[in-house]
Structures are given as C-alpha cells and as structure tokens.
Amino acid sequence: MANTYTQIYIQIVFTVKGRQSLIMKAYREELHRFIAGIVKNRDQKLFAVFAMPDHIHMLVSISPTILISELVRDIKAGSSKFINEKGWTHGKFNWQEGYGAFSYSKSHVDSVVQYILNQEEHHKRKTFKEEYLELLQKFDIHYDPKYLFEWIND
C-alpha cells in the first residue's frame, strides 16, 4: 500500500492444547527459529519469541496488510506441523484454539522484549493463568471465563 505508514506492535500469547507441558527446553531454539521464519515469510517483523513448556509469547510488528488472526493461524499451523514432523512429542501436538493479542507503543518495545525473554524467571513467581488473567485485566479486556484457555491445575 503506497503512502501507508504504520507502527503496530503486538504481543501474541497462546498455549499448548490442554496446557500440557510439551515444549522441551532442548527444542526451544529450533522452534524459535522456525517461528521467526514464518513471521519473516509473511513480511512481518519478530522482536522476541519465547516458548515455555506449555505456552508461547512473541512480540511482532505487523503491517496493515495482514490480519493478526491470519498471522497467528499461520504460526500455529506451521509450528504444530513442524513439531509433529520432528516427533518431539508422544502423540499428536496441537496448539489450543484462540490466542491473546495485546498492543504496545514503541516506547514499550524494549520492556516487552525483556519481559518475553525472561519468561522462565517470571514463571518461578507466577503461573501462566495468573499472568494471562493479569494481561486481560491490564488491557481492560472483558471475557467470559468459559471461553478462556482450558486450564490445568497450576
């Protein structure tokens, strides 16, 4: 789109189906590289990605030529196929339906990147459920609890 200039920064969060801890630390970097490739192939920019055993966070800047839902769909479909082809889990790997998408200003990019890259430390003090509910509250997102992720005991 000629003469269209944007800065749209989105933190995307989604979980493994059933919130199972299936993403092994040994495979994390390879998964990060694969996801980075998907984002790049869709002509978007990835600032940070970090996969915990049961969920993933990423910060992307997106252009107005793509829907967030399309990018998330491509990341989830491509990475689940990749994980299954690699045989990293017993049985079929799937991401859970849905995702969270939270927008930030340019002035917050560095702190969000650090937040994402420090997920292991962060989750020593807070469960994913606590973290996710805090994000929904912080961004004043109204939700019906029955449509949130399937929670396992945290």
pLDDT of residue 1: 60
Using a 10 angstrom Cβ sphere, with 0-12 exposed, 13-18 middle and 19 or more buried, the burial of residue 89 is: middle
Instruction: Report residue 88 as tokens.
Output: 């990293």
Instruction: Report residue 70 as tokens.
Output: 């399309």
Q: What amino acid is encoded at 129 in this protein?
A: K
5, 21, 92, 105, 114 from 58: Cα distances, Å: 22, 18, 23, 15, 11
Domain-wise residue ranges, the chain? 9-108+117-147
pLDDT of residue 152: 59
Q: pLDDT tens-digit profile of 111-132?
A: 999 999 999 998 999 988 899 9
| CA 99 to chain centroid | 7
| CA 129 to chain centroid | 14
Q: How far apart are CA 144 and CA 74, in angstroms?
A: 26
pLDDT of residue 75: 98
From the CB of residue 43, how many other CB atoms can be counted at a distance below 10 Å? 10
Check if the beta carbon of residue 7 is closer than 8 Å to that of residue 64: no
pLDDT of residue 3: 81
Q: Look up residue 114 and give its DSSP letter.
A: H
- Per CATH, the homologous superfamily of domain 9-108+117-147 is Transposase IS200-like (3.30.70.1290)
pLDDT exceeding 90 applies to what percent of the chain?
Answer: 79
Q: What amino acid is encoded at 48 in this protein?
A: A
